[in-house]
Amino acid sequence: MTLLEPPSIITDPMDPEIQADIDKFRDVLRGYESGDISEDVFRVFRLTNGIYGQRQGGTNQMVRVKVPYGSMTPEQFDMIAFLVDRYSRGWAHITTRQNLQFHYVQLSEIPDVMQHLGSVGLTTREACGDTVRNVQGCHLAGACPFENLDITPWAEAAYRHFVRNPIGQRLPRKFKINFSGCETDCGQAMFNDAGVVATTRTRADGSIEAGFRVYIAGGLGTTPHAALALEDFTPKEELLPTIEAILRVFDQTGNRDNKLRARMKWVVDQLGFDETKRRILASRKFLLASASWPGGLPAEVVLAGDEPAGLDQSGAVTPIGQGTPVSIGGPSDYDRWHEANVVRGIANGQVSAYAWAPLGDITGDQFRAIADIQREFDADIRLTNRQNLVIRGLDESALPHLHAQLAAIEMAEPGAELVRDVVACPGADTCNLAVTQSRGLAKAIGDALDAEGLGEVGGLRINISGCPNSCGQHHAADIGFFGAERRVNGRSAPGYQMLLGGYIGQDQMHFGDKALRLPAKSAAQAAVRVVRRFNEDRTVGESFRTWLDRSGGAQGVARDLADLDAFPAYEVDPSFYVDFDETGPYVAEIGESECAT
């Protein structure tokens, strides 16, 4: 087998629903190419099937692969490796919603790509469009010492219930569902249309009942909105009916005339929270009469169980979540990786370890190596919402060999949860909406931090978006940036708005506060200055948000950065007028939106 031949994989017969999607795509594509199906109709159909146009235009397409709660098999990793080498540019990108996407696939080849994906149980169905998007879940679910429930089978049940479900096919706008197993909220439930956090309550007889707290109407974008708790406690049997009721109210009341005001957060803005809640609970009450009623324990939960991993009382437990201080010590690369990238503390003594994928990019060769690692260690591997991989179900004794395997493919850097682990959207590399090269800035920040000896500062997150729409989730980061065009000295130039103090966790959501605007070329130095000041000033264990509040807030910190908001004359330094990874003068080109988050 060469790299341009599909892997020899023995799988179960193709899922008939996936095959039906592929067959329909082939037929509709033929109709579009013959002129029988109009551009606007085909565009909606294409997006619903996970296929985006690119800013490069023509027949270039981005393929987004739906990966529910980030869980993948070795066969799926092998297949992605083949596809990115054969049809794309040799690598795929992990998104902040635990999808995989790759670019520059020609439209005529999309059905073949879908067929290959379907052969290993992967689909692009409803990865885009006005549908229920990829169901996210905490990447440590089932391997977290703090969880109240293993939300894995619940996320699987939600995915299976809503994919291709008639009530979710032509929504006013996209609808996002996230699951977290505890209030640390690593799954980021607090800024989604329906966010689910496992919790417990004490019954009258003193026993403990596990269930959920469901949040609604969270969102980022240009107008961020923190999710609101629907009720204090939702029993297990009511969870899927509750989510379906939320979706039904959204379908009935969402704004179909203005997509900019069509998300669940705008329903609450229009109706008020109390009325929105009343409608959701009323819909849930009578959902028993619907043929779609999903009440009771889902089959996926009955089959797999949802018992939490439990806490190991005999050993050290790794702190998790945003703001967690991470210590780096020891004389060797292995010691540093072991300190920063390994999570331990569950009852059966198994550990998890992060494989770092800078900017969320993984090459075909790396995918193949990850597949081999998964088979060798009999491990469970998931994509994370910070664009890395986490390898779970490991024995402590396996860690040195795993580190060696990851080092051989350049994925053993101690990066996860350290400040060098910068998250970025695709930006103007491929996205029609982006106005800056966010990936270029992300690399520049990482390089600048490492050069200053600050790349391994713990307890900080940096996120970047190439426009205000927050695909890079800049609102939720300690240090966030979003791209914006600047007009200076009679020219256009790439710039960023810096935000400080975003935080999610412990049933809280703080959005970052605006600090100052910056030239793109100065943004990395601004990040370095903030990280250095935080690292020098903070008290032991102090979070960035707490430090920021006692340092004068975002505006107080911004005052010490004001000198960086200056553009030299073009003749003095033309580099300020050229974006990262570009060679010519900056031009803010915005195409028609294809809803890139």
- Mean pLDDT for the stretch of residues 397-403: 98
pLDDT at 10: 55
Sequence-ordered list of residues with C-beta below 8 angstroms from that of 478, at least 6 positions apart, any chain: 322, 323, 460, 461, 462, 500, 501, 502, 503, 512, 544, 545
Q: Using DSSP, state whether 384 is helix, strand or coil.
A: coil
**Contact present, 545 and 478 (Cβ < 8 Å):** yes
Identify which of 108, 58, 117, 60 has the alpha carbon closest to the alpha carbon of residue 88. Answer: 60
The amino acid sitting at 213 is R
pLDDT at 277: 98
Q: Where are the beta strands (DSSP E) in 58-193?
A: 60-65, 71-72, 91-94, 100-106, 136-137, 177-180
- Tens of pLDDT, residue by residue over 86-129, are 999 999 999 999 999 999 999 999 999 999 999 999 999 999 99
Identify which of 295, 297, 284 has the alpha carbon closest to the alpha carbon of residue 231. Answer: 284
Give Cα 166 distance to the centre of its chain.
Answer: 26
**Contact present, 140 and 182 (Cβ < 8 Å):** no
Structure tokens belonging to residue 562: 């004001």
3-class DSSP string for 224-235: CECCEECCCCEC
Structure tokens belonging to residue 73: 């098999």
pLDDT at 12: 67
- Tens of pLDDT, residue by residue over 498-545, are 999 999 988 888 999 999 999 999 999 999 999 999 999 999 889 999
How much of the chain exceeds pLDDT 90, in percent? 86
Describe the strand order of the beta sheet including 389-394 as a list of residue ranges. 71-72, 380-383, 389-394, 351-355, 342-343
Give Cα 96 distance to the centre of its chain.
Answer: 2
The amino acid sitting at 481 is F
Q: Using DSSP, state whether 137 is helix, strand or coil.
A: strand
Is residue 2 predicted with pLDDT exceeding 60? Answer: no
399-408 helix and 333-341 helix, angle to the nearest 10 degrees: 110
536-539 long-range contacts, Cβ below 8 Å, gap at least 24? none
Helices in 254-355 by DSSP H: which ranges? 264-271, 273-285, 299-304, 333-341
- CA dist 373 and 312 (Å) reads 26
- CA dist 174 and 262 (Å) reads 9
pLDDT at 526: 98
Delineate the domains of the chain, giving CATH numbers in brackets: 16-118 (3.90.480.20), 146-304 (3.30.413.10), 333-408 (3.90.480.10), 423-577 (3.30.413.10)
Name which of 128-132, 161-165, 358-362, 588-592 the model is least confident about: 588-592
State the average pLDDT for the chain.
Answer: 94
How much of the chain exceeds pLDDT 70, in percent? 97
Sequence-ordered list of residues with C-beta below 8 angstroms from that of 40, at least 6 positions apart, any chain: none
Name which of 7-21, 24-38, 220-234, 503-517 the model is least confident about: 7-21
Structure tokens belonging to residue 470: 């927050």
- Mean pLDDT for the stretch of residues 439-465: 95
Confidence of residue 402 (pLDDT cuts 50, 70, 90): very high
- Mean pLDDT for the stretch of residues 355-364: 96
- CA dist 391 and 66 (Å) reads 19
Pair type for strands 491-500 and 513-519 = antiparallel
Describe the strand order of the beta sheet including 423-424 as a list of residue ranges. 423-424, 462-465, 479-488, 491-500, 513-519
- Tens of pLDDT, residue by residue over 183-213, are 999 999 999 999 999 999 999 999 999 999 9
- CA dist 74 and 202 (Å) reads 41
Angle at 352 (CA atoms; ends 350, 356), nearest 5 degrees: 165
Structure tokens belonging to residue 506: 């412990």
Q: Using DSSP, state whether 473 is helix, strand or coil.
A: coil
Confidence of residue 6 (pLDDT cuts 50, 70, 90): confident
Residue with tokens 């060679």: 583
Is residue 450 predicted with pLDDT exceeding 70? Answer: yes
Burial state string for 29-53 with b = 16 or more CB within 10 A and e = fewer than 16 = beebeeeebeeeebbebbbbbbbbb
- CA dist 53 and 47 (Å) reads 9
**Contact present, 160 and 151 (Cβ < 8 Å):** no
Is residue 40 predicted with pLDDT exceeding 50? Answer: yes
- CA dist 76 and 89 (Å) reads 18
pLDDT at 9: 61
Angle at 438 (CA atoms; ends 436, 440), nearest 5 degrees: 105
Q: How many CB atoms lie within 10 A of CB 494?
A: 28
Is residue 472 predicted with pLDDT exceeding 60? Answer: yes
Structure tokens belonging to residue 110: 């999309």
Instruction: Please say whether the dihedral angle defined by the alpha carbons of residues 513, 518, 523 and 527, taken in this order, is positive or negative.
Output: negative
Angle at 76 (CA atoms; ends 71, 80), nearest 5 degrees: 115
- CA dist 400 and 409 (Å) reads 15
Identify which of 519, 435, 449 has the alpha carbon closest to the alpha carbon of residue 484. Answer: 435
DSSP-derived letter for residue 108 is G
Identify which of 126, 156, 127, 162 has the alpha carbon closest to the alpha carbon of residue 141. Answer: 156
Is residue 596 predicted with pLDDT exceeding 50? Answer: no
- The β-bridge partners of 26 are none
pLDDT at 32: 98
- Mean pLDDT for the stretch of residues 411-426: 89
Name which of 54-68, 376-390, 515-529 the model is least confident about: 54-68
- CA dist 144 and 470 (Å) reads 28
Q: Using DSSP, state whether 284 is helix, strand or coil.
A: helix
Sequence-ordered list of residues with C-beta below 8 angstroms from that of 200, at least 6 positions apart, any chain: 148, 208, 209, 210, 211
pLDDT at 597: 45
